[in-house]
């Protein structure tokens, strides 16, 4: 007998959106059947008029991250609570190598941060900040431990260590790892910033001019040359501009293995936000762009150039965001884990920009495949983890920070009216959230108790597969 049956929904499976009933046993999807054909179940959820989505996989988060001499406000408890409330059931967070530290130390530090706190499953990338010979030698061992991707920042001392990074690229490629690259050219940014500050233009209104689209596209082109020489695959995080997207298209035309990610702020916000009195709250790296660049990102979502939408969730209290005396000292990032799925549905699917199946690819199936978690995660297929989201496509929600689960006290999308919102999120068959309440909700289990801190499990990820786009779905 099944533990759980979800009946009556339109399920979004790899074969498309269709009416289907889904049965769960021992935390996994045990059966997908035509309506009315499931085996008997101990418990049944009537999901008529709802969509049944695979839990989203967000491969770009910063929980309990240390930067600018402080830590982000969301740790692995509050951050994963917010994720579950929005239909995200797996994250991959960035573990930062300390200056002079080892990769193993970074990984152990982040595992300690997550253990006993995360309520959903998680993996790690390692941010390689000191590509010493010793650290480079650790890359194959990290891959063996299921940490199969490494972050490279091109705007933080990259130039001084470029040859060392090339060596790291080569070892990573040979080890089956994927490089996730933050592409902004530090010299172009430095040149623009010096000129602005010299002219007294140090407010947030000038932040975008300090990091123009050219600083991104030039860094993408440079990284493409370096990864080609090293014979390593490249995954570009949070792309924000049409010119950077054009570099991705050119590289793919040449047969390169190149992947692209964007983040929600570039889809829904534009640079005019920096002119608001509290414009610092919208600061992230790279900056918000103009409407033409925003539209170029939407085009790239629809035509397949962008493979993943991920949040880069990096949350702060508003007073911390507003405390800086010039734009170079504003802490970057913001909270948006809880709104990833509903906003992409509302602004993308409901408005006809992308299909429902394409949305599921962008936030669930593609990241699971790219980062070595498929088919355990990312799709409604038999034997996958029962990470499922019952989603009401007609539910209207006005985003209010006081009703979100992040510990941040502001939301970048405050006041947006969203069409479509999760009504239930399940992780490995366990219900984590059972609907919003007016004025906010709490995360509860099947027993109407708080979700257990630390129930999330570390996911050992497989090596990157260059043929991830053509992976076959389990039968």
- pLDDT per position as a tens digit, 93-147: 999 999 999 999 999 999 999 999 999 999 999 999 999 999 999 999 999 999 9
Residue 109 Cα distances to 66, 76, 100, 153, 469, angstroms: 12, 13, 15, 20, 33
pLDDT (0 to 100) of residue 447: 46
Six-digit token pair at 469? 């786009």
- pLDDT per position as a tens digit, 406-462: 999 999 999 999 999 999 999 999 999 877 655 544 455 444 455 688 999 999 999
For the structural domain made of 57-375, what CATH number should be given? 3.20.20.140
- pLDDT per position as a tens digit, 341-359: 999 999 999 999 999 999 9
pLDDT (0 to 100) of residue 473: 67
pTM value is: 0.97
Displacement of CA 19 from its chain's centroid (Å): 28
12 CB burial (10 A radius; 0-12, 13-18, 19+)? buried
Q: What stretch(es) of the chain map to CATH 3.20.20.140?
A: 57-375
8 A C-beta contact, residue 434 and residue 409: no
Per-residue pLDDT at 52 exceeds 90: yes
Q: What stretch(es) of the chain map to CATH 2.30.40.10?
A: 2-53+381-433
* Tally: H helices and E strands in the chain: 14, 20
For the structural domain made of 2-53+381-433, what CATH number should be given? 2.30.40.10
Six-digit token pair at 144? 């063996």
Confidence of residue 20 (pLDDT cuts 50, 70, 90): very high
């Amino acid at each position: 007998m099944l533990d759980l049956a979800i009946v009556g929904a339109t399920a979004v499976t790899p074969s498309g959106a269709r009416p289907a009933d889904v049965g769960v046993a021992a935390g996994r999807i045990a059966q997908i059947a035509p309506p009315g054909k499931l085996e008997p179940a101990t418990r049944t959820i009537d999901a008529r008029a709802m969509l049944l989505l695979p839990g989203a996989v967000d491969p770009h988060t910063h929980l309990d991250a240390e930067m600018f001499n402080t830590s982000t406000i969301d740790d692995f408890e509050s951050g994963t609570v917010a994720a579950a409330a929005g239909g995200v059931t797996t994250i991959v967070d960035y573990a930062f190598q300390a200056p002079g530290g080892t990769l193993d130390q970074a990984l152990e530090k982040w595992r300690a941060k997550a253990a006993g706190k995360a309520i959903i499953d998680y993996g790690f990338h390692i941010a390689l900040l000191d590509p010493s010979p010793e650290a480079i030698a650790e890359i194959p061992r990290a891959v063996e431990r299921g940490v199969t991707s490494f972050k490279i920042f091109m705007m933080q001392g990259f130039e001084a260590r470029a040859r060392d990074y090339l060596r790291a690229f080569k070892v990573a490629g040979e080890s089956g790892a994927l490089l996730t690259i933050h592409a902004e050219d530090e010299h172009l940014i430095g040149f623009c910033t010096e000129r602005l500050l010299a002219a007294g233009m140090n407010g947030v209104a000038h932040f975008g001019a300090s990091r123009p689209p050219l600083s991104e596209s030039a860094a993408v082109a440079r990284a493409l040359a370096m990864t080609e020489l090293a014979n390593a695959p490249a995954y570009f995080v949070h792309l924000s501009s049409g010119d950077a997207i054009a570099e991705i298209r050119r590289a793919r035309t040449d047969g390169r293995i190149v992947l692209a990610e964007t983040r929600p702020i570039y889809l829904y916000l534009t640079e005019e936000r920096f002119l608001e009195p509290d414009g610092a709250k919208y600061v992230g790296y790279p900056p918000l762009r103009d409407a033409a660049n925003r539209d170029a990102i939407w085009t790239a979502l629809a035509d397949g150039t962008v493979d993943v939408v991920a949040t880069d969730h990096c949350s702060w209290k508003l007073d911390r965001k507003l405390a800086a005396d010039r734009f170079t000292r504003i802490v970057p990032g913001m909270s948006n884990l809880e709104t990833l799925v509903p906003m992409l549905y509302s602004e993308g699917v409901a408005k006809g920009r992308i299909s429902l199946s394409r949305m599921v690819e962008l936030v669930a199936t593609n990241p699971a495949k790219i980062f070595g978690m498929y088919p355990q995660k990312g799709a409604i297929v038999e034997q996958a983890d029962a990470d499922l989201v019952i989603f009401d496509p007609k539910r209207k929600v006005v985003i209010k920070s006081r009703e979100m689960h992040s510990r941040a006290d502001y939301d970048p999308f405050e006041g947006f009216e969203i069409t479509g919102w999760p009504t239930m999120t399940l992780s490995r068959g366990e219900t984590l959230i059972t609907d919003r309440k007016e004025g906010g909700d709490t995360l509860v289990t099947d027993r109407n108790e708080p979700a257990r801190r630390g129930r999330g499990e570390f996911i050992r990820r497989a090596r990157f597969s260059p043929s991830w786009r053509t992976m076959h779905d389990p039968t």
